[in-house]
Amino acid sequence: MQSQLTVRLSDDLDKEITNLSKKLRLKRSYIVRMALEKFLEDFQVKEEHAPYEKVRDLIGSVSSGVPDLGGEHRKHLLKKLRRNA
């Protein structure tokens, strides 16, 4: 079922949509629908990319050579600081 939405546009936006519709020979309503679909698609993509999702392929891909670095990180950090002091 299709529904109708009324939107108020600024004069500049109205002119841009009108010019584009003439250039592409498409109805203004079709251009607005395409723009909304693109916006919603982009919004969903950004929402799905939580910080973990962006780096999940990198997690565990680098080895420090220290087997207990996660559990004993403080000990290893202090050792390194003392060595460089």
pLDDT at 4 (0 to 100): 92
Q: 82's torsion region: left (phi>0), alpha (psi -120 to 50) or beta? A: alpha
**Confidence check: pLDDT of 85 > 80:** no
Query: What span, in angstroms and rounded, lies between the C-alpha atoms of 54 and 37?
Result: 24
Please give the model's pTM, rounded to 2 decimal places.
0.51
Q: 7-56 adopts what CATH topology?
A: Arc Repressor Mutant (1.10.1220)
Taking only the tens place, the pLDDT of each residue in 13-65 is 999 999 999 999 999 999 999 999 999 988 776 666 677 777 888 887 787 77
